[in-house]
Amino acid sequence: MTAGAAADRIDRWLFFARLCKSRALAQRLCEDGMVSVSGVAVRRPSQLVRPGMEVAVTFGRTVRRVRVAGIGTRRGPASEAASLYEDLGRAPAPDDWD
């Protein structure tokens, strides 16, 4: 993607936003159905995300929810990565709600 791009692949975005340690991990989470975009489960790492969309990622027993604020062009320092999203908080995974 070029600078100022309006969308990016979810796996790249998760990696650039530092929500995943590697792009391979981001791809695996997508394929395993652990990522949702605007409430819909993602099965393809090539799913596009745009600013304003909500992303939820399940890590073990915790769900991390964020709103896409920007599209990155690289995996930069943590301060740059934090500018790519607005944190909506964490919640226990749905199976913990029993």
Q: Does the pLDDT value for residue 3 go beyond 80?
A: no
The CATH number of domain 8-97, selected from 3.40.50.970, 2.30.30.20, 3.90.25.10, 3.10.290.10: 3.10.290.10
Give me the pLDDT at residue 60, please.
Answer: 86
49-62 tens-digit pLDDT = 999 999 999 988 88
The secondary structure of the chain as a DSSP string is --TT-S-EEHHHHHHHTTSSSSHHHHHHHHHTT-EEETTEE---TT-EE-TT-EEEEEETTEEEEEEE----SS---HHHHHTTEEEEEEEE-GGGG-
36-46 tens-digit pLDDT = 999 999 999 99
